[in-house]
């Protein structure tokens, strides 16, 4: 769960950046007069309570944590930081892939399989031959020349990432994934025969989770999450 919480934080920052470019921020109305703060206190009820929904979700997450403690994230999508990322302050991690609904894992070295999404700093290191794949396919935001033949370009946009998901879905086998193109995080714990589905938009949404011959439809409202038990390959 620590790895899941870590990448969710990164994902949230990325989603906010994307949303900020296309969604006009709501105007803030200030009711309090600094000279009459006490008399104006009655207006405080007109402020939204963003912590109420978050608090409820945190309690749900605590229950999930108890059920998933001791199990590890697994998935064909990989999140990895090499030395190149750790030595720079502007490495620009590639993290929006977490919202494609394909399971992921965090690796401490280049993986032997799957697809690893590299930060700009790591992609440059791969292009220079300083970062070598263990078998995984490296992906980066831009096409960089490389002799290794394992660095593929992929735009960090929802449309490009969903298109990539559809291109590789036949190779996912029995790995569960969100079939429809709705942004969501799917954290898979195969040793627990379970997955955690986390919705990242506030609108009510239905998700179709497919894993091999199994399909499951889940409807979520708000920024909800759901534990999907009894997922067997």
Contact 221, 162 (CB under 8 A): no
State the residue for tokens 């494609």. 100
Beta 205-211 vs 177-178: how paired, if at all? antiparallel
Whether 39 is in a domain gets the answer: no
Nearest to residue 155, comparing CAs of 169, 138, 166, 142? 142
Give the pLDDT confidence of 147-164 residue by residue, as tens digits. 555 688 999 999 999 999
pLDDT of 141 strictly over 70: yes
Q: Residue 181: inside a domain, yes or no? A: yes
- Residue 146 has a pLDDT of 55
Is 63 contained in some domain? Answer: yes
Q: Is residue 24 part of a domain?
A: no
pLDDT value, residue 45: 45
In a domain, 172, yes or no: yes
Q: Calculate mean pLDDT across residues 36-56.
A: 54
The answer to whether residue 13 scores a pLDDT higher than 60 is no
Lowest mean pLDDT among 50-54, 57-61, 97-101, 135-139: 50-54
Residue at 198 is within a domain: yes
Measured distance CA(194)–CA(199) in Å, rounded: 16
Q: Which domain holds residue 136?
A: 2-17+54-228
Residue 174 is assigned to a structural domain of this protein = yes
Contacts of 228 (CB under 8 A, 6+ apart): 176, 194, 195, 196, 197, 209, 216, 218
Within-domain flag for 49: no
**pLDDT at residue 37 in the model:** 44
In this predicted structure, the answer to whether residue 108 has a pLDDT above a threshold of 50 is yes
pTM assigned to the model: 0.74
Look at the chain and report how many structural domains it folds into.
1
Which residues does residue 177 pair with via DSSP β-bridges, in sequence order?
Answer: 210
């Amino acid at each position: 769960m620590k790895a899941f919480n870590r990448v969710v934080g990164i994902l949230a920052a990325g989603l906010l950046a994307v949303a900020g470019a296309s969604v006009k921020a709501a105007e803030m109305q200030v009711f309090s007069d600094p000279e009459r703060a006490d008399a104006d206190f009655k207006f405080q009820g007109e402020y939204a309570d963003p912590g109420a929904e978050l608090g409820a979700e945190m309690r749900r997450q605590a229950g999930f944590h108890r059920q998933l403690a001791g199990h590890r994230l697994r998935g064909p999508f990989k999140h990895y930081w090499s030395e190149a990322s750790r030595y720079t302050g502007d490495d620009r991690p590639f993290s929006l892939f977490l919202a494609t609904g394909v399971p992921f894992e965090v690796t401490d070295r280049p993986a032997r399989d799957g697809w690893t999404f590299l930060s700009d700093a790591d992609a440059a290191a791969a292009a220079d031959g300083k970062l070598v794949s263990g078998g995984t396919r490296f992906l980066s935001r831009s096409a960089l020349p490389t002799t290794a033949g394992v660095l593929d370009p992929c735009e960090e946009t929802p449309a490009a990432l969903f298109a990539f998901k559809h291109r590789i879905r036949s190779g996912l086998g029995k790995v569960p994934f969100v079939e429809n193109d709705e942004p969501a995080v799917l954290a898979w714990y195969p040793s627990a025969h379970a997955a955690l589905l986390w919705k990242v938009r506030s609108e009510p949404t239905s998700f179709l989770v497919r894993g091999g011959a199994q399909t499951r439809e889940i409807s979520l409202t708000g920024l909800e999450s759901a534990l999907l038990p009894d997922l067997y390959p």
